[in-house]
Amino acid sequence: MYYVLLAAGLSSRFGGNKLLADMCGRPLVRASAEVGLASGLPLAVVTGNDRGAVLRALDGLEFHEVENREYRSGLSSSVRAAITSLGDQADALEFSPADMPLIPPPVPRLLAAIREDSSAPLIAPRYRGTRGHPVLLGRELYEDARSSVSGDHGLSGFMELRRNLLLEVDVDSPGVVLDVDSPEDLERLRAIGCPGAGSGHL
């Protein structure tokens, strides 16, 4: 099983590459990668846009790179690239956008344990009724996902059409639903997640 960080996108709504923006003294993409490493799962990072800068931001971390040369076609291309590159060696893949640094590391571990115990093919955390990340995709759905995902929707549309297969797990951390689309979002995450930045906490 891999924790797959989707770090190939264009950040078109942010006004620059948000993954290189500061999050508690290191790049946002590095903060998100550290979640995967702290979970104990092997880390894979899908790169594309600003590949060199993203790799420099991750310097010194242990991960498997999946290069997505089709990243301009949307998030779904990164999902397909990961399945193609990693599918033969992994019973399941946990997908997370690279702009979600506040996912608690126990959450990926929880999804992995549920997969092992139940063989559920599609698992996602849920916080107060809102589905979050990471999303676990089992091997039995790799081909279905690779042929079905499209555009910039990633696995969201795929899950909606397969709700009968989806297991949602309630968690008590908002970190599974907090991402960065704007500079204001990033400030909010800093206030919650950076020591001394504010009074918020997870």
**How confident is the model at residue 152, as a pLDDT?**
83
**How confident is the model at residue 14, as a pLDDT?**
75
- Tokens representing residue 155 in the block: 């696995």
Residue 196 in this model has a pLDDT that exceeds 80: no
Cα–chain center distance at 46: 10
Q: Is residue 53 part of a domain?
A: yes
Q: Is residue 8 part of a domain?
A: yes
CATH number at residue 14: 3.90.550.10
Residue 130 in this model has a pLDDT that exceeds 70: yes
Q: Is residue 116 part of a domain?
A: yes
Q: Is residue 11 part of a domain?
A: yes
Q: Is-above-0.75 flag for pTM?
A: yes
Query: How many domains does the chain fold into?
Result: 1
* Confidence category of residue 45, pLDDT binned at 50, 70, 90: very high
Q: Is residue 72 part of a domain?
A: yes
Q: Is residue 202 part of a domain?
A: no
**How confident is the model at residue 200, as a pLDDT?**
41
* Confidence category of residue 150, pLDDT binned at 50, 70, 90: confident
The pLDDT of 155-177, averaged and rounded, is 95
Radius of gyration of the chain from its Cα atoms, rounded to whole angstroms: 16
* Long-range contacts from 186-191, C-beta under 8 angstroms, 24+ separation: 186/18, 186/21, 186/23, 186/28, 189/23, 189/101, 189/102, 190/23, 190/24
Q: Which domain holds residue 17?
A: 2-193
Q: What is the mean pLDDT of the chain?
A: 93
Residue 13 in this model has a pLDDT that exceeds 80: no
Q: Is residue 112 part of a domain?
A: yes
Q: Is residue 199 part of a domain?
A: no
